[in-house]
Structure 1
Amino acid sequence: MNLVESFRIALRALTANKMRSILTMLGIIIGVAAVIALMSVGQGVQALVQEQLQSAGSNLLIVIPGSLKDAQPGDPRTRRPSQPLTNGDWMAIRDPLNVPHIVAAVPEADGRANVSYGRTTLNLTITGTNQDYPFVRNFYPAVGRFIQPDDVVGEGRVAVLGKDVAEKLFPADVYPIGQTIRINNVPFRVVGIMEAKGGGSFGNFDTLVFVPFTTAQQRLFPYLRSPRGEPTLSLILIKVDDEKNLAATKAAIEDLLRERHNITYLDEDDFTVINQADILDIFGSITGVLTTFLGGIAAISLLVGGIGIMNIMLVSVTERTREIGLRKAVGAKRRDILLQFLVEAMVLSLIGGIIGMILGFIGAQILASLSDDLRAIVSLESILLATGFSLLVGLFFGIYPALRAAQLHPIDALRYE
């Protein structure tokens, strides 16, 4: 008996008991659908994070105050009180004699404040920064201009609004450019409106208000000072000339700040330098945990489906004992019987896998539709993985029933009632 004939007999046997076959495949269908949906949405999330990181600027390093990691047990370093970043830190970092490969270093002094125009008041995030921010963040004004060097030096009271801020703050018949708004009751002249960028891993850029960082430090948030009385920064954005220089630049910044903050080898850093790879690793670890958890559920479902296939195949062997005896009596060999029942189990599992792939794809699209930005990505890898698992489950759980059928003695089988 060849494989094609075995396949034809298997289909005939399965269609003879349609409902039983469908119920048997249910575990395989659920397991494969879960694998496809999980991998599709997971790959979509990773693609979304990468796109958002690229849209927020490429070849970026971000310096923030404080440490994101605790000292490990046995680590001789001690934790230090968090020391804020200062303008002096920013100026030292941007000096090419201290840190090479830096294209631009941008200070940020952030805080919440009430922004008002007429009778409308909004509580928003104010980002104090300088003229290099659009270049570093790949985020430019759609109308008007951004902050200029003279605004920074002169602590100018000028503001650039995110798209959503401009729409909510001003009536439709009022042109925002040139209007005066009040931030914490301090008057600012609107000089620009940013292009639409939307939300992402770094927050919603369209709800920000940008002012010169010197103005933010002196007029809006004068209480943000270091122990020495220096104005402080929320973070420092750094654009590196080439991706291959990110690691070396990060190490140079860490050495420089450890020296400036008087940190010895026994002390833990009181700052953190983050690059895009770190952020991707964080998201990857989160999605990895979820993938492992949900993958375990899918594996259990496949296991249950496989046990169901084995049980049904054992029942089928019992029901078809006389058929097996008759086939052996007319010359069928053990390997023919073994092949027939193995093919039946694998066909049952494969059909369940195909149905599961279709349902998994539909489920992934439904999950992706819950978010405007998310999309499901069905890769060849996930299809091959699901197909391979289906066939392996059918093969593994079909071996015992197939062996049992092949070992039946023809005389005993023909006597079976």
Structure 2
Amino acid sequence: MRIADSREAVRMAFETLRTNKLRSGLTILGIVIGVATVITISSIISGLNNNVQAWVSTLGTDVLWVFHMPVIGVRPTAEMLARKKLTFDDVAAIRNLPHVVAADGGVRHVNPIFQAGIVGVKYGQKKAQGTLLQGDSVQVAEVADIPLIEGRMFTEDEDQRRANVVILGYDTAQQLFGNDSGLGKEVNIENNAFTVIGVFDKRKQPFGGGRNPDDNAAFFPINTFMKLHPEDAVTGGVWVSVKYDDPKNRNLVQDEVRELLRRRRKVHVEAPDDFEIFGPDSLTRLWNQLTGGLAIFMVAVSSVGLMVGGVGVMNIMLVSVTERTKEIGVRKAIGATKRNILLQFTIEAMTLCALGGVIGIAAGGIITLLIRLLLSALPATMSSMWAMIGFTVSCMIGLVFGIYPAWKAANLDPIEALRYE
């Protein structure tokens, strides 16, 4: 087909739109809705993915976590809940492994119904409610790398003598002191006075909006924490965080930790591990599983709109063939082949759908912008890849649903077509 014929087909498509604005607009409405749905949902997923990736990166690429049962993406079984808990002796043993830089054993206070402790931190007449209480070894500074906005981390000496010192989370400090410094001030926690020696900076939130629960927390040296809740190390177990020397050594460190713990916990050779080792990438995998479900939902919803749009395009093209029967007869009489007519009407259908795709992409972009402006919890980011996919699919819809009307036009008998009134 000559370029001039292609241009004529595109021109005639726009002529159809111009002369039948309402009919053509309703025809491509399904395409617009389908593509706009793809762009909007993919933009939300893309924005959330970026936030989750940024949050996971703050957890480190050289960190492993060890716990007596899985806590990410798995519902614990009775066997998992009954497992022997990890201990501080396990933490000390892990520190001696060759590629381990630091290992922290942390214990968090929770109430009997497995919800965050509702303990309040008081300062004068002010109170921070629902504060988490957590004890850590001094090596938490090397493992977690949480920035302080003021003050310092606790020392080995403070841990050994069980000093009444505490580091507050960002939200806790804001509720108690506002914009004033909290350093050196005494706060009341469970009827005990603790001196504030530091305040952690605000932590990233994986989904953009809301507060991070760890920002409303009080962190103690582990031996100080054990004065308050010694039972938690037994009932809840110790959460072990391991920092190693090089990301390339992850598998080696994981194998060394597994072998060490199996030996210490006297796990038989043929028996599976009675503990779990995982890292920040486990969070990424879990999130990808969730977004995979959203992607399937997106495809299902958009497919309905695209199919409706495709049927509409087929309908208007069949009407167009009927209206232009005499024109087709004239074109055939002056030498147009079946191939010319077939390609002309196919390109016309694809042009209609492509226009619907462009409008859908624009509509999706506008919706994405509105979401960013009005809903901070949904940090939508428009994806150029999904925009291209939406446009390509809309063109394919035009090809699939436009081929039958084009075939019908191409097979009209020229003599009968010329006689058509």
Asked whether the equivalents of residues 28 and 356 of structure 2 are also in contact (C-alpha less than 8 Å), the reply is yes
Normalised to the residue count of structure 1, the TM-score between the two structures is: 0.89
Identify if the C-alpha distance between structure 1 residues 325 and 37 changes in structure 2 by more than 3 Å, giving closer, same or farther.
same
Asked whether the equivalents of residues 70 and 76 of structure 2 are also in contact (C-alpha less than 8 Å), the reply is no
Residue 165 of structure 1: how far off its partner (Å): 0.9
Residues 148-180 of structure 1 show CA distances to partners (whole Å, capped at 9, x for unaligned) of 1111111111001112111212366x6421111
Identity score, percent: 36
User: Counterparts in 2 of 1:163-202, with a 5 A limit?
Assistant: 163-170=170-177, 175-200=181-206
Determine if the alignment matches structure 1 residue 365 to structure 2 residue 372.
no
State the one-letter code of the partner of 1:179: K
Unmatched segments (≥5 aa) in structure 1: 73-77
Asked whether the equivalents of residues 81 and 270 of structure 1 are also in contact (C-alpha less than 8 Å), the reply is no
CA distance in 2, matches of 1:130, 1:71: 27
CA distance in 2, matches of 1:300, 1:247: 46
Tell me the residue number matched to 2:228: 220
User: Counterparts in 2 of 1:15-414, with a 5 A limit?
Assistant: 15-67=18-70, 81-96=82-97, 100-111=98-109, 112=117, 113-121=119-127, 122-170=129-177, 175-200=181-206, 203-217=212-226, 219-226=227-234, 233-369=237-373, 371-372=375-376, 374-414=378-418
Tell me the residue number matched to 1:75: none
Aligned-partner SS, 1:248:
helix
Residues 204-261 of structure 1 show CA distances to partners (whole Å, capped at 9, x for unaligned) of 33212111011112x111222538xxxx744111122222222222222222222222
Greater shift in the superposed pair: 52-61 or 184-193: 52-61
**Deviation beyond 6 Å, 4+ runs, structure 1:** none
CA distance in 1, matches of 2:315, 2:387: 27
State the one-letter code of the partner of 2:192: V
Residue 71 of structure 1: how far off its partner (Å): 11
Identify if the C-alpha distance between structure 1 residues 335 and 386 changes in structure 2 by more than 3 Å, giving closer, same or farther.
same
Identify if the C-alpha distance between structure 1 residues 110 and 371 changes in structure 2 by more than 3 Å, giving closer, same or farther.
farther
CA distance in 2, matches of 1:297, 1:374: 20
Residue 266 of structure 1: how far off its partner (Å): 4.9
Residue 87 of structure 1: how far off its partner (Å): 0.5
State the one-letter code of the partner of 1:223: E
Aligned residues: 403
Identify if the C-alpha distance between structure 1 residues 274 and 199 changes in structure 2 by more than 3 Å, giving closer, same or farther.
same
Work out which of the residue numbers 17, 32, 45 in structure 2 matches 1:14. Answer: 17
State the one-letter code of the partner of 1:338: L
Asked whether the equivalents of residues 39 and 383 of structure 2 are also in contact (C-alpha less than 8 Å), the reply is no
Unmatched segments (≥5 aa) in structure 2: 110-116
Normalised to the residue count of structure 2, the TM-score between the two structures is: 0.89
Asked whether the equivalents of residues 342 and 395 of structure 1 are also in contact (C-alpha less than 8 Å), the reply is yes
CA distance in 2, matches of 1:333, 1:399: 16
State the one-letter code of the partner of 2:395: L
CA distance in 2, matches of 1:80, 1:130: 25
